[in-house]
């Protein structure tokens, strides 16, 4: 295995993996870390240590007194700052670099369904980029919440949605930002999307009067017990309070 200094591209693909796995899985025995180590020609321990170095820069982990490793390299800080300033482009760039390391197409590397893609040209490129970025966002959000709904705790990935707090179509700069995401099951994602529920800046669940006044027993069963309860917070990338406030004011249906 190479022992030379880490390159910028290696730092970027390491940060890509840091985003897409739970913090508690950062160890040299975790399969995705083993796979990345093989791809870039590093030891499992070296990759695990690099991801732990990224963790020291995460303000959420710092706030919980979980700091990862206390010492790291300047390259980690540079990549962290780049991503936090431009998630849209850097998520795409990291997936491209990863595909190049694998000597594979980005569609295959990111496991994107190509059956309904345009055949060629700029239209295809645009659709591929959107889907690759959406896949990155989903993996990042689900990993941050340890693959469980932040309201109910449901932990079946097929039933989970990486829900945008500020919708995808509203603000391009916030589309890929993982602090603009919540992991919700499909039912509560729909309710959140149309404003029947929200999450306050204090991370409490709030139901619209439309739900609370509904006398249907099934409706009450699925929503009322969660009223004013605190969501299950993620291991990293806490939802930004300003985004939650935006949802409260612009999406939530408050009849009071």
Report CA-CA distances (Å) from 239 to 33, 41, 77, 199: 26, 35, 21, 10
DSSP code of residue 239: P
170-202 per-residue burial string, b: 16 or more CB within 10 A, e: under 16:
eeeebbbbbbbbbbbbebbbebbbebbbbbbee
- Report pLDDT for 1: 46
CA dist 212 and 256 (Å) reads 12
User: In sequence order, what are the residues at sequence separation of 6 or more whose Cβ sits closer than 8 angstroms to the Cβ of residue 206?
Assistant: 197, 198, 199, 200, 227, 228, 248, 252
Q: What are phi and psi of 182, to 5 degrees?
A: -130, 145
In this prediction, residue 70 carries a pLDDT of 59
* Contacts (Cβ under 8 Å, ≥6 apart) of 87: 175, 176, 177, 178
Q: Please tell me the pTM assigned to this model.
A: 0.90
Query: Who's near 198: CB < 8 A, 6+ residues apart?
Result: 192, 205, 206, 244, 247, 248, 251, 252
pLDDT along the chain (256 residues), means of 10: 80 95 94 96 94 86 65 84 87 93 87 69 78 93 97 97 95 91 98 97 96 86 94 94 96 83
pLDDT of the residue at 106:
87
State the sign of the Cα–Cα–Cα–Cα dihedral 153, 162, 225, 206: positive
Inter-helix orientation angle 74-85/44-55, to 10°: 60
The CA distance from 9 to 88, in Å, is 17
Helix, strand, or coil here: 18?
A: helix
């Amino acid at each position: 295995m190479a022992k030379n200094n880490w390159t910028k591209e290696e730092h970027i693909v390491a940060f890509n993996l840091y985003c897409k796995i739970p913090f508690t899985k950062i160890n040299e025995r975790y399969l995705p870390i083993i796979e990345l180590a093989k791809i870039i020609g590093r030891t499992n321990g070296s990759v695990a240590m690099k991801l732990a170095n990224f963790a020291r820069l995460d303000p959420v982990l710092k706030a919980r007194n979980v700091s990862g490793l206390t010492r790291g390299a300047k390259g980690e800080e540079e990549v962290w700052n780049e991503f936090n300033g431009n998630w849209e482009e850097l998520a795409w760039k990291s997936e491209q670099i990863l595909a190049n390391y694998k000597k594979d197409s980005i569609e295959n590397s990111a496991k994107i369904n190509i059956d309904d893609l345009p055949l060629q040209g700029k239209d295809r490129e645009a659709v591929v980029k959107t889907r690759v970025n959406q896949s990155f966002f989903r993996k990042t959000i689900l990993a941050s919440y340890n693959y469980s709904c932040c309201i109910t705790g449901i932990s079946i990935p097929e039933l989970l949605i990486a829900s945008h707090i500020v919708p995808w179509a509203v603000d391009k700069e916030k589309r890929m930002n993982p602090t603009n995401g919540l992991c919700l099951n499909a039912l509560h994602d729909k309710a959140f999307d149309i404003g029947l529920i929200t999450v306050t800046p204090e991370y409490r669940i709030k139901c619209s009067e439309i739900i609370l006044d509904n006398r249907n027993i099934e409706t009450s069963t699925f929503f009322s017990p969660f009223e004013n309860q605190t969501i299950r917070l993620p291991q990293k990338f806490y939802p930004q309070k300003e985004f939650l406030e935006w949802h409260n004011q612009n999406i939530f249906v408050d009849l009071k």
